[in-house]
Amino acid sequence: MIISLIAAVAKNGVIGKANGEMPWHVKEEFRHFKETTYGFPIIMGRKTFETLGKPLKGRLNIIITRNKNYKVDYDEVLIFDSLERSIQYCKENNFEKIFVIGGGEIYSKAIDLVDEMIISKMKFDAEGEIKFPEFNESDWNIEKIKHEELFDVFVYRRKNEK
């Protein structure tokens, strides 16, 4: 199973605002996110899920929270109390690929666990308190770069894949 991370990161490292809002709305980037993740499980922090407000269609939505009593009004959503346990569940259920979709706290936890990162590097700075974690570029090979008008998509693959 390939464990992938997908994120959109402004030039100054910002990925979102503390109140949950996304600082930008770039339709082509949302389309890229949807096309890439469609059909695969998506794993997200509780705050990101609450920002979305409802599950994303066509994908198994998995929420990570420390709150053992956390409930949502949607049957098709799974809730785990750790990222590791959610990944274990996906392995046991033979998914070919899964995506960690944020936000900041979950990316920080996931960055050492993922095989691949698909990062849209936005061509502008953004205002916000939540940033993508620092990572060591030398641990990764850049497999592909796709250029779009407002962003470039970098596909990173971990060297010496686990």
Ligand X SMILES: NC(=O)c1ccc[n+]([C@@H]2O[C@H](COP(=O)([O-])OP(=O)(O)OC[C@H]3O[C@@H](n4cnc5c(N)ncnc54)[C@H](OP(=O)(O)O)[C@@H]3O)[C@@H](O)[C@H]2O)c1
Residue 23 near residue 128 (C-beta atoms within 8 A): yes
Interaction of residue 17 with ligand X, rule CB under 6 A: yes
Scan residues 25-44 and list those touching ligand X (CB under 6 A): 44
- CA-based nearest residue to 122, from 25, 10, 43: 10
Residues touching ligand X, count (CB under 6 A): 29
User: Which helix or strand (DSSP H or E) is residue 162 part of?
Assistant: none
Minimum CB distance to ligand X, residue 160 (Å): 25
Interaction of residue 153 with ligand X, rule CB under 6 A: no
Minimum CB distance to ligand X, residue 141 (Å): 21
- Could you please report the per-residue DSSP string of 70-85? ---S-TTEEEES-HHH
Residue 7 or 117: the one with the smaller Cβ distance to ligand X is 7
**Edge to edge, what strands does the sheet with 42-45 contain?**
77-80, 61-64, 42-45, 97-100, 2-9, 116-122, 151-158, 140-147
Minimum CB distance to ligand X, residue 156 (Å): 15
Give dist(CA 12, CA 127) in Å, integer. Answer: 9
Interaction of residue 65 with ligand X, rule CB under 6 A: yes
Site string for ligand X, 86-125 (x = CB under 6 A): ---------------xxxxxx--x----------------
Positions touching ligand X (CB under 6 A) are 7-8, 15-17, 20, 22, 44-48, 51, 64-67, 70, 81-83, 101-106, 109, 130
